[in-house]
Amino acid sequence: METEIELKFFVSPDFSDILKQKIADTKVLQHSCKDLGNTYFDTPDHWLRKHDIGLRIRRSDDVFVQTVKTSGRVVAGLHQRPEYNAEHNSNEPNLFLHPDDIWPSERDVQVLQQEIAPLFSTNFQREQWLLSMPDGSHIEVAFDQGVVIAGDQQSPICEVELELKSGQTESLFTLARILSDQGGMRLGNLSKAARGYRLAQNHVSDPVLHFDLVSTEPKQTVEECFIQSLEHGLSHWHYHEQLYTECESVEALEQIDYAIGFTRQLFYVYGGIIPRRASSLLRQEFKWLEEELSWIKQLQFLNDLTEDRGYTLRKLDCQKQLVLALNQQKEVLPSRESMIRLFESARYTAMLLDLSRWILSRGWQPFLDEKARGKMMEDVKPFAIKQLDRSWAELIEIFPVEREFSRQDYIDQQTLLKRNLYTGLAFASLFDLELRTKFRLPWVDLLEGIEDLLCLMPLQLLHEDLEPDQQDQLERWIRRQEVSILHAMEQTRARCTELQPYWHS
């Protein structure tokens, strides 16, 4: 058994020239080019897939190798997965070539052998280099071009894979940074096998997912919770990046933005233990990326206002004029093509690589003194309670019940409210779900109220373009909307401040 450790990137066919130029500056131990044919097998009910097992037979020049890959993990494109290889003499699978204990016990191997059948294939040309890195690590670079085939359907393959053959994972990231410093590479979390299964099942696109709670457990340490939270945010981010590249979805971009905000908040939550200088470069890049994506909410507001030909604005005489102007505002926002370019840019890829490396190498550790290391090894629940207390105190301070809030007062507190809601997601699994939900929902309603207020802003920008009578009508309409929203928000805020903290129940 070997554990495959590799980074996968999606590229375009012309990236081959850049790749070869970069490799020319390294120490090449071996170079080859060959055609590979791969057949993947499963049962009719996809039993292997359901158990996160991949079974394939690879053929190259009449040499057959049967491979079984079992459950692994993916962090920002770094795939770590155990694999079992066995020489074979045909394209007919033989499960008994592998150890018995790699197969789940729920189904007899003999029965499984009778049930498996070809499901899809991948055929591609692989150009391959074995490189020696300055620290002595050996890394295999593969450039694959070909197709995934399932029945009469096909999907192109154009990928770069970096596999650590020996040495340090750090070298894998170093090489990835070098190869991607001109852009054109996008970290991939979908293997060829995953793409084959999707094709075989006539899969169109994955659904947009709401950001789920981090599955934190009381027995975990503070550091374990920190790592799990970072990986959780990164997984959600990467999932929706892939989704967006497959189909244009504002909702997917919103989830990417949400995951970025959550991950950035973790630096603040754990900032009492981990010094700022440990994450200064990462935080700088997070700030840059959030600015790059700052237009997403504006697009959402414009979509809400123009939905169903501007039905929301139906009582305004200038409805058609407003819808036309709002649609023109949408046209100047970044396009899907510009977003794909961002995802393939050198800076974006470097940021993901650096964050992944920071998590895997525990890059904060060299910045911790003995006292801080001790705190990171403590049980997470007391730490969580302390952070939630701090968050609660901040919320009470920024939303004092004795003060009446204006539209601008609420808008000014949007960022702090979002940050405190992020904090709750990191620790919520440690406490009673019903109590947590009861506590959280009014605060979420308050945040949605702020967004409802912001949704009116694009209309206010069009005020000067209207005739005087239209201006008056629009002003009155906006004011009625604001009064209604603020009334509901004031009632919600009163409920929020009366809630009892669920983490002390």
Burial label for 146, CB within 10 Å (0-12, 13-18, 19+), is buried
Query: Which residue is it, tokens 């005020």?
Result: 463
Residue pLDDT, tens place only, 210-256 = 999 999 999 999 999 999 999 999 999 999 999 999 988 999 999 99
The tokens describing 276, both together, are 């700022």
pLDDT attached to residue 76 = 54
Do the strands 73-75 and 153-166 form a parallel or antiparallel pair, or are they unpaired?
A: unpaired
Would the pTM count as exceeding 0.95?
Answer: no
pLDDT attached to residue 505 = 82
Residue pLDDT, tens place only, 444-455 = 999 999 999 999
Place 78 in a pLDDT band, splitting at 50, 70 and 90: confident
The neighbouring-strand residues paired with 67 are: 56, 85
Q: Phi first, then psi: what are they for 161, rounded to 5°?
A: -120, 135
pLDDT attached to residue 4 = 78
The neighbouring-strand residues paired with 64 are: 59, 88
pLDDT attached to residue 82 = 85
Task: Compute CA 378 distance to the chain's CA centroid, rounded to the nearest angstrom.
Answer: 29
Largest interatomic CA distance in the chain? 84
Mean of the per-residue pLDDT values of the chain: 94
**pLDDT surpassing 90 at residue 61:** no
The tokens describing 80, both together, are 């770590």
Domain with CATH 2.40.320.10 in the chain: 2-100+110-201
Answer yes or no: are the C-beta atoms of 380 and 216 closer than 8 Å: yes
* Distance between CA atoms of residues 72 and 95, nearest Å: 20
Reduced to 3 states (helix: H, G, I; strand: E, B; else coil), residue 16 is: helix
**pLDDT surpassing 90 at residue 343:** yes
The neighbouring-strand residues paired with 368 are: none
Superfamily of domain 222-498: CHAD domain (1.40.20.10)
Place 204 in a pLDDT band, splitting at 50, 70 and 90: confident
The tokens describing 90, both together, are 């045909």
Domain with CATH 1.40.20.10 in the chain: 222-498
Is CATH 2.40.320.10 correct for 2-100+110-201? Answer: yes
Answer yes or no: are the C-beta atoms of 425 and 211 closer than 8 Å: yes
pLDDT attached to residue 205 = 80
* Distance between CA atoms of residues 124 and 147, nearest Å: 6
